[in-house]
Amino acid sequence: MSALLNVIQAKRMVDQLRVEAGMERFKISLAAAELVQYCQEHRRSDPLLTGITASSNPFKDKKTCILL
């Protein structure tokens, strides 16, 4: 039983390694340059940089809570 489980686990590992070997790889320097360019092009619409107005913030409470 244990040998069968080891074979199944080994087959899964081989399948995963085949998937990873088939992935297209990019150099970090190229990927980082593209990421920086994308961030610079979209910085005006980034809510983390520009902030969110109180009226359009869905997480802001509309009413205050009054406890008596």
Instruction: Give CA–CA dist 15/6, Å, rounded.
Output: 14
What pTM value is reported for the model? Answer: 0.48
Percent of the chain clearing pLDDT 70 (strictly above):
93
In 3D space, the residue among 21, 37, 41 whose CA is nearest the CA of residue 29 turns out to be: 37
Q: Is 48 left (phi over 0), alpha (psi -120 to 50) or beta?
A: alpha
Q: pLDDT tens across 1-46, in order?
A: 789 999 999 999 999 999 999 999 989 999 999 999 999 999 998 8
Q: What are the residue ranges spanned by the domains of the chain?
A: 14-48
In 3D space, the residue among 43, 41, 40 whose CA is nearest the CA of residue 51 turns out to be: 43
